[in-house]
Structure 1
Amino acid sequence: KATEAEAIAIFSKIWKEHFPYSEIGETELKFLISENFSEAIEDKIIAATKEIMSNPIVANEDKARLASWDTIIVRSLSENLSEEGDNIENVLEEEWDQSKKADIKTVDEIREEVKKGGYLPESLEIDKREDRIAALVAASIIKPNFSYDESATLKKRRDILENIKVEINIKRGETIVRGGSLYTERDKTIIERIREQKEKQSLPLEMMGSFLIICTIYLVVYFFGKRHVRRFAPNKTDVVFMGVLMLVMLLLLRFGIYIIRIVSEHATSNIPNSVLIYAIPLAAGTMLVRFIVNAESASLFAVVLAAFTGIVMERNIYFPSFTLASSFAAAVAVSRADRRGAVVQAGVVIGAINIVVLLSIHFVNVSSVDEPSGIINMIWYVVSAILNGVGCFMFVLIAAPIAESVFGYTTDIKLLELANMNNPLLRELLIRAPGTFNHSHLVGLLAEAATEAIGANALLARVGALYHDIGKTTKPEYFIENLIDGQNPHESLSPYMSALIVASHVKEGIELARENKLPEVIVSMIPEHHGTKQIGFFYKKARESSDPALQKIDEKDFRYPGPKPRTREAGVLMLADSAEAAIRSLSDKNPTRIRQVVENVINKTFAEGELSNCELTLKDLSDIADAFVKVFTGIYHQRVSYPSEGDKIENVPDLNGVGKKDENGNSESHSG
């Protein structure tokens, strides 16, 4: 019911609120009111809007940024309606060059052109009143359909700049830097490019030369060790293991250099590459060889590793020296590691020694132009040394179980697990053959003491002794140490059958050991602790009970199948087993008699050639005899006879073990 003037005022206000960018006159408003905003005008508005939005339109503030680059990245923005009615944005990145940038218009520019009749469909004529109204409405509701992507544009620009190659032509014989002149960045770039080109051209020769150097060093050190290092006797497994480990160490060095370069490029602080390179735990290789194989192999491995690092680190003359010192420190630190905690302690020792070595290198190299000075650089040296030690023990803890599984090695940690008396085989031996169990335990004490005296693996010898007679659990009653009621089953058997039963415990022990997955180094000790020795008691019995004219006795039927001991630990085990049996049979176990019997056992075994394959020297045999006597004397020491009630006590030792004086004034000592 409003008047025409009031209606025009109301619609004018509504127009300004919804279409602030387009002005409409009173005549156009009267026309729209009279037409009741017909569908025909709505269709023309939609057509005009689609035509205008088909052109690239950007926000007003993006215009200046578009002009600053020759090539830009823009995002195409379009709004669609999802099923729920929410607006969703489809994003498509496009790359525009100068030619396409010329077609870009801002929202304000488009609106000005529309008012003049531009960017409209051919069906609309700006002079017609209803077409002009449709154009004005369309101009007000348009918005940008492209957005300038600054981050993508900057990335594109960086990529272009990085791929730009500047060619500098240098003639043969041309002087690059004259003596006394300023060394510029351009000169440095030229020299580096020349070096890169020469490396590419000489790559085949360099690879062949590196291969020949590596092979020469490896073979020279190997044959030197075989000839001059007494206990360097690697088998095929050892050679393969150390070769694979050497390759792993060189790959670790290459990978470490790559990681350090990446860290330095992305680090916020200035981290010196020349210092962080010492954090690569190459000594872990030597540490693992010492932990698994032996000290001699570890020493030679350290020398070869240091030589190889000198080839890789051609510009760092101190790195091979550091690798050598750190490797020998690792070999020493892990030599007594029989538990995982000891490996960690070895890593701490390596870190401490590395600190001393690296600070020494810093002090020696402090006058160099390339060596950063100051307390910060010294701190980085200390950090690198500690990281090296940590990396060493972590590598060994991870790699040792893998080496045990792949190459069949047995570490001291594994041996300690086998020495646990809760092991099913040892529990069965204790229950079924208690005499054999006690014998094995005593033989283990003897073998451990003797191997410690000669510098062999005492833990291996003790564990081997615990399992050396496990085959006796199948027929325990046929072995004298297990006889309880005094009845000897061999009395009803022929000497041949008795010898066969006694010798069979070796074969049965091997089968039991392999069924229970004992390490091969322990399995090998089961036959080797007897070697090819004669089963003397039954051989003598066979000779005494047979007529030589009717039956010829073959000595081979009364010998163990072998093989002879091939390691020092197996040789010591053979001597300990024989000595324990001989001493146990003595009625008078005084120190003099014990030494006499021990020396006889060792001399007889040596004379029979049973120790010819185990590298025990005469000095070793003497030390072994002393160790056996010491253990036996401690076990079978004489004691004072305690008197019963009412007996007269004539000589009682005092607390210091000194009795009464004799007639010459000398004290009479008593063993307790």
Structure 2
Amino acid sequence: ITLSPPEAEYLANANRRGALADGVRRVYNRWLTVGVAASGVMDDVRGEIILRRGKDERNLLADSALTFGTLLFRARSLHPAPNSSVGDALYIKLLSAFFHPTIAFDKSATERRRQELRATVVVNRHQVRAGEKIIGEHEVVGREEHEKLRALHDAMQSRTGGERAVGRIIGAVLYNALVLLIFGVTIALFRPHLYQSYRSLSMFAVLFLLVLIVAAIAGKVTPVRPELVPIALAAIICSVLFDPRISMIASMILAVLIGGQGIFRGTNALFFTMIVGSAAAISVRVIRRRDQAYYSILAIAAAYALSALAIGLTLDWQPREMLVSALWGGANALVSVSLAMILIPLAEKFTGITTDLTLLEYSDLNHPLLKRLMLDAPGTHAHTMRVANLVEAACNAVGANGLLGRVGSYYHDIGKLKKPQYFVENQPKGRNPHDMLKPTMSSTIIKNHVKEGLELAEENHLPRAIAAFIPEHHGTTSIAYFLAKARERGDAVANSADFQYPGPIPQTAETAILMLADGVEAATHVIPDPSPEKIREVIERIVNQRIEQGQLRDAPLTLKQIDLIKEQLVRALAGMHHTRIDYPASSGGITSEFAAV
């Protein structure tokens, strides 16, 4: 034992030395004979232990067995010099130096006892004799009967061996093929644009494969737990990327696929996956708020809980079994929704589909392009904001995507940033650079804002759904002002395409609505007294003109929807051009007389 000088000096005193030796001896005599284990030996031991001394054995709780730490704590009661720091350190040092555990872990004996106990456990829960009836006709299948029937099924399958293996493989392949064929036909008939997209079909394939792989792993768990199949993951991603209807169909197909696999036959996998997949598809119709994920988790967890309750009551489960099933389902809901939120941006980039989450990001007015538009082309920016309000209202009225319409309107004229002074909304009164140009050159500048807008969209990585608003809001309409001006000057118009936008014409309801809103918003600014009646006449004229020109032939709009769009535009523009009263000049107001001066 290594001693410090103060400790050596302390032990030099015979009385102190004797007291310490007597204290250590008393501690060992009192507790070592009872049994003391080394520190850390009992940390992972729970419940009862068997303490053996020679041939005698006795049971005691693991918490009751003394360890060296407990010994030191109890030794304080026999401390010969508790008020001396040097004596206290020496006391602990001596106890530690001479301590030898009197309780040791016998690993071989423990394992032998465990094997003996395992051998006493009955492996078979039920015994069925040959010829014994398991269930009769019209009798209710309870839990015991269900377990016996399933065991009989497994036993019969194992006894056939490889005799019918080929037939089972062919049957399984045919089963899966027919189920997937139903899904393929459904997409081809009701979502042809998805059927024609290899990326969308690949996304369905990846999601199906992911769920089936995890389901195969979950099937290895004993007992089989269909609550661990992450069908909610696929349903959420499909709902966000595509729509809840196709997501619900995909969930049903996945449920039938999983329920038909051999490892899940005789279980409740079909019921669980069908209910939970449907709940997940419905719970995430749109995601525009950060807390939407919480609602989805709660909805999916509730679906698991209700499914467990329904199955439990049917099969006479114990309440604890229902609770465990619901808890597994709740954990699956948490993991599936969290993982879906992580994977959605990657899936969105892979498929090229723009979700509402991305649209919300691009609706930020602090986006660099919109900031530039506000500073470099304030007139265009003001026009853009007014048009965005019109488009969103009209889109919502006909069931189109109002958010997409608004965000697409924000960026539809970004091409004007290249030469903002050549567009009338950005020109000071009486100063028009087109007066110095030929009509053909002016038309080229005006037309090029579409091309330049697409270049800016590509440079700033705008999604395709937003970039489509740039060329489609003009379609293939003519630049009528400069075409008429060229004819007035007597210029030969060899190619009318020089005075025509390149297109394409609107392909979606949102871009078609922008085309109409953009035209009527600009036209109403030249009306001297924009009353609701005059506004309605302008809107009717422009809409009819676009229809006659064939600009709306590819847009998925009905005549009834076009009428609703016109009503929304009239209502919104009438509100924008409302009249104001004159406030008295004495109170700081600006009167009409002031404006006329």
Q: TM-score, normalised by structure 2?
A: 0.69
Q: CA deviation at 1:394?
A: 0.9
Contact 1:176–1:187 (CA under 8 A) maintained in structure 2 = no
* C-alpha distance 191-577 of structure 1, shift in aligned 2 (>3 A): closer
Which segment drifts farther, 211-220 or 434-443? 211-220
1:372 aligned residue: 317
Which position in structure 1 is the counterpart of 2:399? Answer: 455
Deviation of 1:337 after TM superposition, in Å, equals 1.4
Matches within 5 A, 1:588-667: 588-642=529-583
How far has the Cα of 1:321 moved from its partner? 3.9
Alignment of 1:501 with 2:442, yes or no, is: no
Deviation digits for residues 235-261 of structure 1 (CA, Å, limit 9, x no counterpart): 332222122112112222222333x43
Q: Structure 2 residue aligned with 1:307, among 233, 245, 256?
A: 256
How much has 1:612 moved relative to structure 2?
2.2
Q: CA deviation at 1:495?
A: 1.8
Tell me which of 294, 297, 310 is aligned to 1:344. 294
Q: Deviations over 1:289-333 (max 9, x none)?
A: 111222343233233223222323652575334433333332332
1:227 and 2:189 equivalent?
A: yes
Secondary structure of 1:556 counterpart: helix
Judge conservation of contact 1:564–1:611 (CA < 8 Å) in 2: yes
1:149 and 1:388, CA in 2 relative to 1: closer, same or farther beyond 3 A?
closer
Query: In 2, Cα distance between the equivalents of 1:354 and 1:481?
Result: 58
The residue that corresponds to 2:67 in the other structure is: none
The amino acid of 1:529's aligned partner reads: H
Distance 2:192 2:434 in 1: 46
Aligned counterparts of 1:199 and 1:250: Cα–Cα separation in 2: 25
Query: Residue type matched to 1:257 in 2?
Result: G
**Cα distance, 1:177 vs structure 2:** 2.8
Alignment counterpart, residue 130 of structure 2, candidates 177, 184, 198: 177
Give the secondary-structure state (helix, strand or coil) at the position aligned to 1:477. helix
SS at match of 1:602: helix
Separation (CA, whole Å) in 2 of partners of 1:243 and 1:632 = 47
Shift of 1:499: 1.4
User: Residues 424 and 151 of structure 1: is their aligned pair in 2 closer, same or farther, counting only changes over 3 Å?
Assistant: farther
Match of 1:281 in 2: 230
Residues in 2 aligned to 1:188 and 1:317: alpha-carbon distance in whole angstroms: 9
What does residue 6 of structure 1 align with? none
CA–CA separation in structure 2 for the residues paired with 1:345 and 1:240? 29
**Residues 577 and 298 of structure 1, relative CA distance in 2, 3 Å threshold:** farther
Equivalents in 1 of 2:401, 2:370: separation in Å? Answer: 21
Pick which of 622-631 and 501-510 moved more.
Answer: 622-631
Q: Which amino acid aligns with 1:513?
A: A
Which structure dedicates a bigger proportion of its chain to helix? 2
CA 1:393–1:645 in 2, change beyond 3 Å: closer, same or farther?
A: same
Given the superposition, is the C-alpha separation of residues 458 and 179 from structure 1 closer, same or farther in structure 2, using an over 3 Å criterion? same
The alpha carbon displacement at 1:485 in A equals 4.2
Gaps of 5+ in 1: 1-60, 65-147, 162-174, 265-272, 647-672
Q: Paired residue for 1:429?
A: 373
Name the CA distance, whole Å, in 2 between partners of 1:534 and 1:214.
Answer: 55
Structure 1: distance between partners of 2:200 and 2:330? 30
What is the deviation of 1:389? Answer: 2.9
**Distance in 2 between the 1:324 and 1:180 partners?**
33
Identity of aligned residues (%): 32
Correspondence 1:412-427 to 2 at 5 A: 412-427=356-371
Matched, 1:543 2:496: no
Contact 1:579 / 1:598 at 8 angstroms: preserved in 2? yes
The 1:288/1:491 distance shift into structure 2, 3 A limit, reads same
Give the 3-state SS of the residue equivalent to 1:627 in structure 2. helix
Q: Alignment partner of 1:340: what SS? A: coil
- Give the TM-score taking structure 1 as reference length: 0.62
**DSSP-derived class of the 1:573 partner:** helix
Query: What CA distance in whole angstroms lies between the structure 2 residues aligned with 1:413 and 1:616?
Result: 26
Alignment of 1:208-227 (within 5 A): 208-227=170-189
8 Å Cα contact 1:355-1:381 kept in structure 2: yes
Over 3 Å counting, the alpha-carbon distance change for 1:186 and 1:436 in structure 2 is closer
Task: Name the residue aligned to 1:48.
Answer: none
Q: How many residues align?
A: 467
Separation in 2, partners of 1:417, 1:187: 56
AA of the residue aligned to 2:496:
E
Q: Which residue of 2 aligns with 1:473?
A: 417
Counterparts in 2 of 1:56-455, with a 5 A limit? 150=108, 177-180=130-133, 192-196=154-158, 198=160, 200-228=162-190, 235-258=197-220, 260-261=221-222, 273=224, 276-312=225-261, 314-316=264-266, 318-363=268-313, 365=314, 368=315, 371-373=316-318, 375-455=319-399
**CA positional deviation for 1:282:** 0.7
